[in-house]
Every structure is written in structure tokens, then in C-alpha cells.
């Protein structure tokens, strides 16, 4: 996993980036990856205090908190990044995109695996919370400010509190499209279903009413 490759990936995905050099020198998301690589190396070699010290130093300078035990794949694009929290047993695949305010967290004090596993090509929108030791499948998208508490299959779009699957089986790759806006509204979908049911009941009532009038005549 090359840091230069990570920087080039960020420069290609961020329309505000003017060059790879700008990303290397000025982007907090790229700096967070540098701090994490050092902290993770120490963590793997059981130098836990130094690993934690490095990660907290990185948090101070970038506003991004990544536990040194977290496993991060190649070409992670952290956009803006302020307020991101990634837990100790979290795993992130290749070519993912994470926006500011995202939490990959646990749900309690359990030992062992307690944070999510994120597949490849996943996009997690701003402010989303993914909590628990489950998987987010490849090519999935988590909408901004969603709260995901259960496993999400590949090629799915999830939004809402708690998160609901609103779309599946798409050829789009969310981490390349970077589109957090044009996604279905689960509340509106549910209201439409309820309205359809009401209209169906009204039609049935009218039919029964008409039949009863005919019989009475």
C-alpha cells in the first residue's frame, strides 16, 4: 500500500484538489493515513503505548481519530475528515470513501470483534454512524447521517435512522460517483406504500357499498 498512490487517488477524486502535491502537503485525510500507518506498525509489534501516542498525536493535528488497531486498505479517500472516529477492530477495504463526521464504532464493552467491516468501493456519507461487528458489502453506499446497526449486503444503498435498504443491484460504484444526494427517501417510500394501501381499502369499501345497495334494491 503506497502513500503516493493514496495521495493520487485523493487528488483524482476531489475536484477541489489542484495537484497531488497539494494533497500531500495540505490534506488532513492524507496526513491521518500517514499517522495511522506508523501507529498501526507499532500496534502490530505490540508497542501499544507508542501506537496510541502516535494515533492521539495524529488526532490532535487532523481531527481524525483512528485507533492504531484498525485495518485500512489501499486508496482510502477521507474527504474533509473532521470528526471521523474509527474503532480498534474496524476494517476498511480498498477504494473506499469516508466523509467528515463518520463513526465506525462499537455498541458496548464486549471484547474481541466489536466494530464494523467495510467492503471494497464503499461510500459512507457525512455524519453516518455504523455501529457493531457486522459487514457492509462491496459497492454499498451509506447515506449522510444514517445510523446503520445491522449487516448490509453488497450493491445496496442504505439511508435513514435506523438505516434501511432503499436500493439494491446497481452498476454504479458509490466511491467513484461520490453522490450522497440522489438517493431514495425511505420515509417517503413508506408513506407512498401506506397511501396505496388506503386507496386500495377505499376502492374495496366503495365496491362493497355499491353491491350492498344493489342487493337492497
Give yes or no: residues 141 and 193 share one domain: no
Q: Which of 8-12, 77-81, 180-184, 194-198 has the lowest mean pLDDT?
A: 180-184
Q: What is the pLDDT of residue 45?
A: 96
pLDDT band at 202 (very low <50, low <70, confident <90, very high): confident
Residue 11 DSSP one-character state: H
Q: How, if at all, do strands 156-159 and 164-168 pair?
A: antiparallel
Q: Which residues pair with 19 in a beta bridge?
A: none
Q: What is the pLDDT of residue 175?
A: 55
Q: Which of 53-57, 170-174, 190-194 has the lowest mean pLDDT?
A: 170-174
Give yes or no: residues 171 and 190 share one domain: no
Q: What is the pLDDT of residue 131?
A: 94
Give yes or no: residues 126 and 201 share one domain: no
pLDDT over threshold 80, residue 16:
yes
Q: What is the pLDDT of residue 2?
A: 81
Give yes or no: residues 160 and 205 share one domain: no
Percent of the chain with pLDDT over 90: 57
Q: Which of 109-113, 117-121, 137-141 has the lowest mean pLDDT?
A: 109-113
CA–CA dist 164, 150 (Å, integer):
9
Give yes or no: residues 157 and 80 share one domain: yes
Q: Identify the helix (H) or strand (E) that includes residue 92.
A: strand 91-92
**Which of 192, 154, 2, 211 minimizes the C-alpha distance to 33?**
2
What would the mean pLDDT of 54-77 be, rounded to a whole number? 94
- Which three cell numbers, joined as nine digits, stand for 184? 431514495
| Exposure b/e, 127-161, CB count within 10 A at least 16 = b | bbbbbbbebbbbbbbbbbebbbeeebebbbbbbbe
Q: What is the pLDDT of residue 170?
A: 65
Give yes or no: residues 115 and 190 share one domain: no
Number of domains in the chain: 2
- Dump pLDDT digits (tens) for 74-117: 999 999 889 999 999 999 999 999 999 999 998 877 788 999 99
Give yes or no: residues 149 and 138 share one domain: yes
> Which CATH number covers residue 71?
2.160.10.10
Domain of residue 148: give its range: 3-183
Of residues 208 and 13, more confidently modeled: 13
Whether the predicted model's global pTM rises above the 0.85 cut: no
Give yes or no: residues 104 and 201 share one domain: no
- Dump pLDDT digits (tens) for 149-182: 999 999 988 988 888 888 776 666 665 665 666 6
Q: In what order do the strands lie in the sheet with 141-142?
A: 77-79, 97-99, 123-124, 141-142, 156-159, 164-168
Give yes or no: residues 162 and 190 share one domain: no
Q: What is the pLDDT of residue 27?
A: 92
Residue 75 DSSP one-character state: S
Of residues 163 and 25, more confidently modeled: 25
Amino acid at each position: 500500500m503506497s502513500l503516493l498512490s493514496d495521495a493520487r487517488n485523493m487528488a483524482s477524486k476531489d475536484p477541489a484538489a489542484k495537484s497531488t502535491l497539494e494533497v500531500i502537503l495540505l490534506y488532513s485525510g492524507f496526513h491521518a493515513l500517514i499517522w495511522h500507518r506508523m501507529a498501526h506498525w507499532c500496534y502490530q509489534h505490540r508497542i501499544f503505548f507508542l501506537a496510541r501516542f502516535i494515533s492521539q498525536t495524529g488526532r490532535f493535528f487532523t481531527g481524525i481519530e483512528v485507533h492504531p488497531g484498525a485495518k485500512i486498505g489501499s486508496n482510502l479517500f477521507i474527504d474533509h475528515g473532521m470528526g471521523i472516529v474509527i474503532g480498534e477492530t474496524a476494517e476498511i477495504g480498498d477504494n473506499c470513501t469516508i466523509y467528515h463526521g463518520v463513526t465506525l464504532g462499537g455498541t458496548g464493552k464486549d471484547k474481541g470483534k466489536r466494530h464494523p467491516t467495510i467492503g471494497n468501493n464503499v461510500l459512507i456519507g457525512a455524519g453516518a454512524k455504523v455501529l457493531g461487528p457486522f459487514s457492509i458489502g462491496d459497492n454499498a453506499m451509506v447515506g449522510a447521517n444514517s445510523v446503520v446497526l445491522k449487516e448490509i449486503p453488497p450493491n445496496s444503498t442504505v439511508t435513514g435512522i435506523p438505516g434501511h435498504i432503499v436500493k439494491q443491484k446497481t452498476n454504479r460504484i458509490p466511491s467513484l460517483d461520490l453522490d450522497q444526494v440522489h438517493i431514495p427517501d425511505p420515509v417517503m417510500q413508506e408513506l407512498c406504500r401506506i397511501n396505496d394501501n388506503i386507496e386500495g381499502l377505499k376502492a374495496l369499501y366503495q365496491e362493497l357499498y355499491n353491491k350492498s345497495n344493489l342487493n337492497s334494491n
